[in-house]
Structures are given as structure tokens and as C-alpha cells.
Structure 1
Amino acid sequence: MDAELQPDLQHSGAPGGEAPARTGSVRPMTRSDIPTVARLFSKTFRARKDAVAPDLEAYLETVFFGSPHYRPEHGSMVHAGENGVTSAILAVPMEFSAHGRPVMARLLCAFMADGKDGAAGAARLARQMHAARQEMCFSDSSSPASADQCLAGGGSVLPIQSLEWRRAFKPLTAAAIGWSRAAPALRSRAVLAPLGWLDQALRRRRRSITPAVVPDCRTIPATPDAFFACATPMLFRFPLRPVWSREEFDWLVGVASLNRGLGELHVRIVLDRGGQPIGAFLYFGRKGEEATVLNLLCTAGREFEVVGQMFSSLDAEGYASAGGIAQPFMMNAISRQRWLSFKHRGYFCLVTRHADIKDAAQRNDIYIGGLASESWSRLLTDF
């Protein structure tokens, strides 16, 4: 527990251990702070002074107070100044295994401040994130300023996990969908339909657009339960990995499924010639448009087969493109694909006071991302 948070928690008289507001203090966020934090989020990230999206408050409560690991000392923090809460860090507790021992990490989702008082509070909140104070905290969408603060506080920036790969199956359609964030009309049927016909002609001329079929492998639809059973043993080769207890995994799948803006949540299992699982992937999909891969895992040594089969099956399902967070153990196999690009997605920062965790991260002996990151959150795509 952070040293400066300890007094607030010990003197809490509120139900459930929630700390009372105290002017000029850093303290755990309580449910009563949600309306203020929702306004602060909207003003900071959506340029809205007073308007708050209708279901933002309910979403904040679900995500930041609903985890089975939630405790005030493991969750979000706010700074309460003379004008109330003017700065906050939103965080979700996630359990990791570090060289066999359990570690309760914090996923940092948003760092917000408003005005002069908010800036002073933000500085105090940032000091809480220094390596000497933290079991482990991480963020996969940090700005350059936040990355600099992470490094100054003794943390690490993970360069590979800071990248996103993207593989085009229908290049013209995929390009239009990408540009539609700035020009929504490009996503209309009137635009995408003729581009689809042009893509068919382009694929006939450029055979490399179509992912190669992987001999002796096939992909089958599956349930989250099947993914859990298949993927869990595949995590064991990583000294630092999410624990994914059944309760936490089910909760994460539930909150991820709320992000309808990215499409439906799907599970696929990759089988070898003998019908044995050698890989699994979990992704959001908008049919005919994008597939956003959250988690991709495989048996050690089967990376090329699983990556190739994933792309082949997503292409066969009709997606225009697929994208996901880069992972060191998959880079060789991913990079062999044609019609592939990488882009910086935001700095992936990790802070810990434990030398063995930091060493594992710097050696890439780590599995983190997807459900074990913020990739599923509506705060990145909605509100």
C-alpha cells in the first residue's frame, strides 16, 4: 500500500472502507466522486465543459469499482483541493504472477487535471506512481509527457508493446475505414461497396494480399470458457504474466463485451493436424470491416503456424483488415506477413519497485496486453 494513502484508509469511517474527502489530500476515489470525475474526464479528453455522456458515470462505476480484486488501496486515486476533486488517476487492479508469486498490479487508464489546483494535485498523484512506491503499475496508452514521468520515476517504457501491427486483406476498404475517423462518410455503404469490388480485382492481381493457407491447421469458433482453458497453460512460459483467476477473467470478458463500438467479441482456437490446440485468439470484429485482436497466444515453437492461421481465418471471415498490440514473442512471425504495417499506439509504461519484474520486462519475458491492458476499454473509443 502506498505510504501516503495509508492514513486516509485507516481513518475511513465510510461503508466499505471508502475514505472521506479531505481538502488538499491524495486519497482513493470513492463512488461519490464519480459525477465529478465524469465531468473531469469529459472536459479533459472530450473538450466538453459541462456535458457528460449519458452512460459515462455508470461505466466508470462498473469498470473502476467492479473488479473482483477491487480494494480502495488498489484502485483509482483523486486529489481533493479547495475546489473539490480537480485531478484523478483512474486505475483497475489486475493480478499478475511474477516469478511464481502473486502481485496486485494497477492498470492506469486516465490521468486528468483541471486548472491550477488540478496541476498541483496532479504532481502529487504523479509522485504516487514512482517506482519506489509501487508493486506494479502500467499503462498502454501513455502520452510522451507521461512516458517521461515514468522514466524519471524509475519506470520502463516497453518499445515493442508500444506498437500496433495492422494487416490489410482489402487494402482500399481498409484505407477508407481508417480515414473515416476524420471523414465519417468514407464508412458509408455508398463508398465501401465500390471499394470492395476494386479490392477483389486488386487481390486477383496481387496474390500476396491473400494470406497463405497454413497446411495441417484449422481454426474453430469457441467460447470464452474454451479460450480460458486453452490459453491459461500457454501463459506459463512467461515469468511475468496475468494470473487470470476464473472470477477475474469472466469479469474482464464481461466489461470488454460492453465495447460494442469495436464490434462483437469472438474467440477462435487453432488446432493442429491431430486436432490438438496450439493457439488461441480473442478479438473484436465488425464484419466486413476491422478485426481488433486483443489476445493471441500459442504453444511455444508454434508461433508461425498460429499467426499464419489467424490471418488466413480472419481473411476468410471477410474482414478488411486486422490489428493488434505487438508482442515480442510473436514479432518474428508477425513481421513475415505481407501487406503489414506498424504504428506507434501510445507508450506502454511499467513501474515497479521489484528488480526482478523490471528485469523480466526489459528482457521481454513478459505477457501483457489485450485483456491485461486497456485495449478493451470504451474510454478509448467512446463517450
Structure 2
Amino acid sequence: MSRGDLEDVGRLFNQAFRQVAKAPSRDLVAYLDHLFLSSPNYTEEAGSLVHRNAAGRIDSALLALPMTFEIENRRITARLLCAFMADGRAGLAGAARIARAIRVSDPEFCFSDNASPVSADHWMAGGGSLLPVQSLEWRRTFRPTGAMMERIRTKLPWLNEPFLSILAYPVDQMARRMMPSLAARQELRGRWVTADADSLLHCFQTMTRHFPLRPSWSKDEFVWLLENAASNRMQGTLTSKVLLDREDKEIGACIYFHSPRRTAHVLNVLSEPGHEVEVVEAMFAELEASEHVAARGMAQPFLMNALLRTGRTSFANRGYFCMTTDRKDVRSAVVHDDLYVGGLASESWSRLLTDFR
């Protein structure tokens, strides 16, 4: 994909994901350019793909974002595959050629965290793997009436939001008195402090080092990801915090979209090994104190014990997390859940999921 293709790709995006046949806005074209042609790791070989039919028109496309990963102390270029789109039945042949081109390119690590059931079937048929835990979203509700009102507002956006919040508050106060388990545990052994990019990157590097397969971001790449996530104002204000224990040692970190009276979207939860339970409990207490009605995020194998122990946590399919690789060491890490992915290493922060309606 080149810059000359962006208008056609934007039009195809509108048709495939917004069900409207119209030219893309200037904002959408600029975002596609910035995200997929201007990232710190962009190369043509690791970039997005388009297919032109016999008439020279783009009938299918696959948007890809290169990311740096590390496997057993060796750096590799991973490709986060985002939007896979085709122009109806006319674009299916082109989409199949794109999928085959990915498979035969000897990929070091290609993954998608939001695949549809049909796309997941194609991944599996092509020799890829499905990660069942990362395909789940966890959800913790603090204020059930407020959470229900949020779902109503999503379907009926014309309703008066302040009025609904005022209406929900006394009902939730009563519900929390009747069901004390709705409240997060408050016996915290540490304190949360706001983190800048440097301290947050340090936490990523130290708290994921025991995973054989993990992101290996440079500072430039990490800051670029944070800045792009922060631009997604539809989800709230991007907030980064580090959990310090009583000796002021860093034992956990959290990146989330702060949105009072709404659900907090948690991108990443990090923990020093052995501190998962207290980090998750401290995160829930912090989000509840920040007036969120609920919290949600991608499930991770190393967090499951902590999430299940906190109570009032439910799980649902969030879209299939699929991957493919030609490397035995990467495949082994995936099979044994020895990998860290998700959050910033996913498309869950992208404006393509929330904007450009």
C-alpha cells in the first residue's frame, strides 16, 4: 500500500466497516497515512497490502502495523494485522490472494486481536493458531445501574446523559449496600502514582522480561504508541500509573482510558511476578474510586488467577486473537502461554474501532 492508495482504501473501509458507500473524510485518510505509513518501524516489506482487480481498482486490502518484539533475547519484526476488508463478493478472490501472500512470506510473527469468526477460520485453515484466553474480555462492574445506563446510551445516544447519571446514582448506592461484593477491596498495600513515558517503559521492560516472547519497544516506538492511543478521545483520557509498595518499589503498572461515570477501558496491566493479585485488586480499587461504573480489558493467562479471585469478574468473547509464524521458538512460546501481547500491542486503542462514523 502506498499513499496514492489511501483514498481508495478509505472508501473500502467505509463500505466494509461503516456500511456506507462514500468517499473517506480527510481525517480518515490522514489517520491511515499516519498509522500505517508513518510509524517508526514502517517498511514496505512489513507494511499493509492491497489487491487490484483486472480493471486496476482496489477490491481488497489488509492494514498492517509493524511492531518490534523479542523472542529469547532476539529481536524480530511482528505485524499487527488490523482491518482486513473486501469489496463484497467481488473482492473475495483478492482477499484470498492477500491472505496467501501473508502465509507464504515466512512471517516471523503476525497477529490480530480482533478477528471475526470467519477470519478466525481462515487463520486456522492457513496453519495459524487461536489464543483462547486473549480472545476473552474481562469485565468488573462497580455500579450496575450506571453500567446499564451506559449501554442504553450507546444504543440511544439522544438520551440526556446527565439525567441518566443522576437517576442511576441513588439506585447504585442502594445496590452497593445490599451487595457489598460490588465494592472493590480497599485494603491496599501500596499507592498509585502517575507515570511518565520513561517510568512506564521501564516497567514494561522489567515486568515482562520473564516472558520469552514480548514487545521490545524502543523509546521512540513506545512514545509513538502512547501518543496515538491518547488521540482516541472517544474512549476517554489515556492514563498511566505505577503501583508502589510501602518501600516505594514498583510492583505494578496500568494504562487505561479514564472516563468517569462510564466504563474504564484498561489497555495494559503489568505486575512483578507474585504480585498479580494485589496489583489487580489495587487497580479495581483505583478505578472504582475514580467514579467508573465498570472496568474492562483483555484477559491474559498470567492474570487469570488474580481476576478470578477478586470476585464479580465476568468474561465474554471480545473477538478472536489469532497468530501465525514460521519460527519454532515463537510457536512454542504461544503454545505454552509464554508471551505477553495485548493493550498497546494490539489494535484496541485505535481510532478505527471508535471514530470515523
TM-score w.r.t. structure 2 length? Answer: 0.96
For 1:338 and 1:174, how far apart are their aligned partners in 2?
A: 17
For 1:217 and 1:325, how far apart are their aligned partners in 2?
A: 24
Match of 1:32 in 2: 4
- The reply on whether 1:365 has 2:338 as its aligned counterpart is yes
2:87 to 114, 125, 130: 114
- The reply on whether 1:306 has 2:267 as its aligned counterpart is no
For 2:336 and 2:179, how far apart are their aligned partners in 1?
A: 38
Unpaired stretches in structure 1, ≥5 consecutive residues: 1-28
1:276-316 CA deviation, whole Å, 9 max, x = no partner? 11000011111221211101111001001111101011111
Match of 1:270 in 2: 243
1:211-249 CA deviation, whole Å, 9 max, x = no partner? 112342221222232211222211101000000111100
Alignment CA distance shift 1:305-1:116 (3 Å): closer
Note the 1:1-383 alignment, pairs <5 A: 29-81=1-53, 82-130=55-103, 133-185=106-158, 188-383=161-356
Report the CA distance between 1:92 and its aligned residue.
0.3
Bigger shift: 178-187 or 29-38? 178-187
Report the CA distance between 1:188 and its aligned residue.
1.3
Q: Secondary structure at the match of 1:129?
A: helix
1:335-360 CA deviation, whole Å, 9 max, x = no partner? 12222211100000010011211111
Q: Secondary structure at the match of 1:231?
A: helix
Bigger shift: 373-382 or 336-345? 336-345
For 2:151 and 2:88, how far apart are their aligned partners in 1?
A: 34
Q: Secondary structure at the match of 1:288?
A: coil
Report the CA distance between 1:117 and its aligned residue.
4.2
Amino acid aligned to 1:95: T
For 2:305 and 2:157, how far apart are their aligned partners in 1?
A: 35
Bigger shift: 266-275 or 45-54? 45-54
1:148-171 CA deviation, whole Å, 9 max, x = no partner? 111111110000000000111111
Report the CA distance between 1:115 and its aligned residue.
4.2
Bigger shift: 196-205 or 143-152? 196-205
Amino acid aligned to 2:165: L
For 2:268 and 2:64, how far apart are their aligned partners in 1?
A: 21
For 1:279 and 1:185, how far apart are their aligned partners in 2?
A: 40
Report the CA distance between 1:317 and its aligned residue.
1.2
1:238-270 CA deviation, whole Å, 9 max, x = no partner? 000000111100110111111010011001111
What is the RMSD of the two structures over their aligned residues, measured on CA atoms?
1.4
Amino acid aligned to 1:125: I
Report the CA distance between 1:181 and its aligned residue.
2.2
For 2:64 and 2:153, how far apart are their aligned partners in 1?
A: 31
For 2:172 and 2:234, how far apart are their aligned partners in 1?
A: 25
2:203 and 2:270 in contact (8 A); partners too: no
For 2:47 and 2:150, how far apart are their aligned partners in 1?
A: 36
Q: Secondary structure at the match of 2:247?
A: coil
Amino acid aligned to 1:66: S
2:10 and 2:23 in contact (8 A); partners too: no
2:146 and 2:293 in contact (8 A); partners too: yes
Bigger shift: 230-239 or 109-118? 109-118
Amino acid aligned to 2:281: G
Query: 4+ residue stretches of structure 1 with deviation over 6 A?
Result: none
2:146 and 2:261 in contact (8 A); partners too: no
Bigger shift: 100-109 or 112-121? 112-121
Report the CA distance between 1:129 and its aligned residue.
2.6
Report the CA distance between 1:185 and its aligned residue.
4.2
1:156 and 1:349 in contact (8 A); partners too: yes
For 2:58 and 2:23, how far apart are their aligned partners in 1?
A: 17
For 1:117 and 1:345, how far apart are their aligned partners in 2?
A: 29
Identical positions, percent: 46
TM-score w.r.t. structure 1 length? Answer: 0.90
1:175-195 CA deviation, whole Å, 9 max, x = no partner? 221233222245711112111
